[in-house]
Amino acid sequence: MIIVHWLFLHKFSYKLNPLIVGKKFALNIFYNLAIILSIFGLVWCYNNHKYLPAGFLVGVACCLFYFKYQLTKEIRKSFKEKDPK
């Protein structure tokens, strides 16, 4: 998943400011890692019968998915605006 986003950003990075693309790329990596850690934490909580922290981690993962979705929409919108068709 990270590699696909890297290829997507790398292919079109010449059209945008490199600093902005780098920040969005780093933010995307952070979201991916946080989602993965939330899922691992959720599995650990479920196996140890800790349901309250598991609920918190479900909420965190949902928020991160939402933020990642918004970031992806913003990146696609910026690429469409810069496309000289």
Name the pLDDT band for 24 (thresholds 50, 70, 90). Answer: confident
Instruction: Report pLDDT digits (tens) over 60-74.
Output: 999 999 999 999 898
Three-state secondary structure call for residue 73? helix
Q: Which residue shows structure tokens 């986003």?
A: 5
| pTM, full prediction | 0.70
- pLDDT value for 75: 82
- pLDDT for 49 equals 94
DSSP at 14: G
Domain ranges within the chain, ordered by starting residue = 2-82
